Chains A and B, each alone.
Chain A
Amino acid sequence: MLAQLAEAIRSHRPESIAACRALAERALAAGVPAARIVDAALIPAMADVGRRFRADEIFVPEVLVSAKAMQGALDVLEPALADAGREPFATIVLGTVQGDVHDIGKNLVAMMLRGAGLRVVDLGVNVAPQRFVAAIDAHRPELVGLSALLTTTMDAMRATLDAIVAAGQRDRVRVLVGGAPVTAAWAMSIGADGHADDAAEAATVALRLLGR
């Protein structure tokens, strides 16, 4: 059943969205612990989707369908996860930086991070540095994720990091950056803790930064 669920997520067929909910319900009814369904089906399936997206074997539409399917299963599993005491183990404040209104990539990152078990506070697009600072105070996240699609807004990433430093928050959060123009070298040059090329890698790097 778990293999079926993973395959349904990987298939990125529109009908798999409903199928995943049903499969998750059946797995729960059969007594499979919700956490095991997440760990053995949802996460490996989305990791595989991310790997194929990164290799340009599949594209945004396929990832969106798979992410919706995964989210459907997660919705079914969440009450059971909460009952079992598996609360989100960390929080990430996420947003597209100031000057950039692109959110498709950032939304994919949010879905992957939720699938990986994080609480995601999504600040949206065109987020000013001070809004990140305020959200860090309000939500006490372990991680901050900055997204940019435009080369012209990469400097806003640096400005956001500078604002986090100026607010005295830098030692409380690990900062993850990503987006089409962002390279590992750039991430290092602005003082970020991690960099990801795509949504699946973002989840992997987030877990690594959290020591998992």
Chain B
Amino acid sequence: MRDDLRHALAGGAVLLADGGIGTELMRRGFRLGECPELWNRERPADVRAVHDAYAAAGAQLLTTDSFGGHPMRLALHGLDAACEELNRRAAELARGAAGDERWVIGSLGPCGRVLAPLGDADPDAVRAGFERQARALLAGGADLLLLETVTALDELAAAVAALRAAGGSFVGASFAFDLTRRGEIRTMMGVDVATAVRAAVAAGVDLVGANCGRRLGPAELAPVVRQLADESGLPVLVEPNAGTPEPTSGLHPLGPSVFAAHALELVAAGARIVGGCCGTTPEHVAALRAALGGGRDSRDAPRASDR
């Protein structure tokens, strides 16, 4: 089944991805200030347990614990030299839980810096970092590479080129859109949905998506999904967070059943891979699995043509 992601998506399947990784690691004792990717070396059993929990909940795609695995991000923990090891281990752990029955999403978050000339990060170094990370994720067994919470188009172009150079045959770009105070939908860097889609298509991605985002939870993302689908002509992934966290408690407000109900609206809007981001849990994924109609095999999943 692993080899046919493109085929499955072309055939109209709706696939279920997993939920938040970082927030699940926190439930297992991840402490502020630690490097989440280091858990792939130091706490592999816990990382594996998170993947196993999502697999048991019915997720068909498991996401690696490598969001902050760009060497520039790892450098904040003095771990840039471990980029290859940590990303490879991240993919191996997800691969182990996925087996041959599920796909592994190699997760790549932003490098954390603003590229020159606007910022001070050398674009060549940013690109080279993404390539290192991508090679390691592929070596560890990732089936597709997903750029997550993309906000800047210069970084997107550099990253997609790097992922292709690393040998990524299926590359996705998922944007973090916010709802602005003027009611517009834009990334932190001011990029609207249409511009984001054009840039992603021009960069040659195989999939576009939206994940996380401020003031833009599962209840608000349907128009974004529709626009991503209409304007890209590509499969759309959506991984909302469990609502915007309560300012005082930091808790994500949306429970599994409410989340699943909204996620169905996102499927109706055209999402082909649906999962969760920060604050979503195996319970959210299980609720979504039930809402989507039970079966754990993609062959049993509802197809877009059946809607």
Interface positions of A (Cβ within 8 A of B) = 14, 54-62, 64-65, 98-104, 125-126, 128, 151-156, 180-183, 185-186, 189
Contacts and interface: CB of A to CB of B under 8 A. Distances in A.
Nearest to A98: B33
A60 B32 contact: no
Contacts of B190: 58-62
A102 B181 contact: no
A86 B68 CA distance: 43
Contacts of A151: 245, 247, 250
* Interface residue SS majority, chain B: loop
Nearest to B190: A59
Nearest to A64: B118
B182 A55 contact: yes
A181 B245 contact: yes
A139 B182 CA distance: 41
Contact of A102 (B34, B112, B189): B112
Contact of A183 (B26, B77, B188, B247): B247
Interface in B170-197: 180-182, 184, 186, 188-190
Given A64-B119, A152-B22, A152-B250, 6 more contacts: A56-B186, A99-B31, A128-B33, A151-B247, A181-B247, A189-B248
B189 A60 contact: yes
Interface of B: 22-23, 26, 31-34, 68, 73, 76-77, 112, 114, 117-119, 180-182, 184, 186, 188-190, 214, 245, 247-248, 250
B181 A126 contact: no
Contacts of B26: 152
Contacts of B189: 59-61
Given A185-B247, A185-B248, A56 B184 contact: yes
Contacts of A102: 112
Query: Quick one: which of A58, A64, A65, A189 has the most chain B CB within 10 A?
Result: A64
Contacts of A125: 76
A155 B32 contact: yes
30 contacts: A54-B181, A56-B182, A57-B182, A58-B190, A59-B188, A59-B189, A60-B188, A60-B189, A61-B189, A61-B190, A62-B190, A64-B114, A65-B118, A98-B32, A98-B33, A99-B31, A99-B32, A101-B73, A101-B76, A101-B112, A128-B33, A152-B22, A152-B26, A152-B32, A152-B250, A155-B32, A155-B250, A182-B247, A185-B247, A186-B247
B176 to A, nearest CB: 12
Contacts of B184: 56
Contacts of B112: 101-103
A126 B118 contact: no
Nearest to B251: A151
A183 B250 CA distance: 12
* Interface residue SS majority, chain A: loop
A60 B188 CA distance: 7
A152 B73 CA distance: 18
A188 to B, nearest CB: 11
Nearest to A54: B181
B257 to A, nearest CB: 23
A126 B33 contact: yes
B10 to A, nearest CB: 36
Contacts of B245: 151, 181
B112 to A, nearest CB: 6
B76 A126 contact: yes
Contacts of B32: 98-100, 152-153, 155-156
A55 B117 CA distance: 25
Contacts of A182: 247
A148 B126 CA distance: 24
Contacts of B33: 98-99, 126, 128, 156
Contacts of B76: 101, 125-126
B39 to A, nearest CB: 14
Contacts of B31: 99
Nearest to A102: B112
A156 B26 CA distance: 15
A181 B250 contact: yes
Contact of B214 (A61, A101, A126, A180): A180
Contacts of A56: 180-182, 184, 186
B182 A154 contact: no
A54 B188 CA distance: 12
Give the 6 A-B residue pairs with the shortest CB-CB distance, closest first. A99-B32, A59-B190, A56-B180, A151-B250, A151-B245, A99-B33
